[in-house]
Amino acid sequence: MTVGDSSVLTYLIKGKISMLTWTITPKVGGPCTLVYRIDTNVTHRTNCSDNINLTFRAGLAPALLIEQVGIAQEGNYLCDTASTEGNFRRTYNLTVLVPPKLSLFCDEQGSPVCEAAVGKPPAQLSWIPESSSSAKEMCHNNGTVTVFSTFTACSTNLTNETTCIVSHPAGNWSQSIACCSSEKTSFFLHAGIITCVLVIITLLAAIYYFKLHSDRPCHKTKPPEIAPIHSEQDDTMEVEPYTTYVQKENVIYNSVSDLTVGQNLPQNLCPET
């Protein structure tokens, strides 16, 4: 039975039944008991989940209905009946199948990897073309198993496309993929990195160039200062006014001195001219 499906467990009983008892012993957890009495038309439940019930059909003995079967319902189912023909017992062993989830991808080395996750029981993996690799399993607490395999070519004359085939009691699946080898992947990776670096350098250079020419201030060129040239004639012209002034001062001073001397002489004496 596949997980998520519903199941009906029936038991053909001879004679007219008076009581029916279902005892369920799951692989995980405690037992569950359903007891039905015909005379009272009452069902007694002990430690049973809500998805397990009795179903009644006209002219037939009550059957056990399991809705949306889960892994927790896996185990032994025992039916005891009492009828006018005697006591009878029937045992069922319920196995729940969990279909795996198939995924196919390329690893870092460019090799195809096939994974059948959380299946019950474990899936069987195979490759086309044939691979020499073996599958590895990883068990989970709920009883499911993940199986994965990395493709390893048996021959060098192969195409890039590989197909993974998953075989399981719940069904069969397949998926194909084309992976690049590690050498090609490395080449394209390095080429991409170099291209990106060159583009970035070019953009930075262009930005720097335009910024340098657009933000440069305009200044008027100041003519160089020329040191003045002094000539001997200029020195003479600078000295002559002072010389002339001194001469005039001396003339005035002499005139005043002569006048003073003349005024101080006796009247009968006159200054010599």
Got the DSSP string for 10-76?
Answer: ----SS-EEEEEEEEEESSS--EEEEEETTTTEEEEES--TTEEEE--TTS--EEEE-S--GGG-EE
Helix (H) or strand (E) holding 104, with range, is strand 101-106
* β-sheet bridge partners, residue 173: 166
Q: Are 126 and 174 in contact (CB under 8 A)?
A: no
Q: Which structural domains are found in the chain, ordered by start?
A: 7-94 (2.60.40.10), 101-182 (2.60.40.10)
- CB within 8 Å of 173: residues ≥ 6 apart: 102, 165, 166
State the pLDDT at residue 30.
92
Instruction: Give the C-alpha separation, 107 to 110, whole Å.
Output: 5
State the pLDDT at residue 228.
56
Q: pLDDT tens digits, the chain, 273 residues: what are they?
A: 999 999 999 888 788 889 999 999 998 889 999 999 989 999 999 999 999 999 988 777 789 999 999 999 999 999 999 999 999 999 999 999 999 999 999 999 899 999 999 999 999 999 999 888 889 999 999 999 999 999 987 665 656 799 999 999 999 999 999 988 655 555 566 677 888 888 899 888 888 788 777 755 555 555 555 555 555 555 545 545 544 444 554 554 554 445 444 444 444 444 444
Instruction: Give the C-alpha separation, 49 to 53, whole Å.
Output: 9
Helix (H) or strand (E) holding 258, with range, is helix 232-263
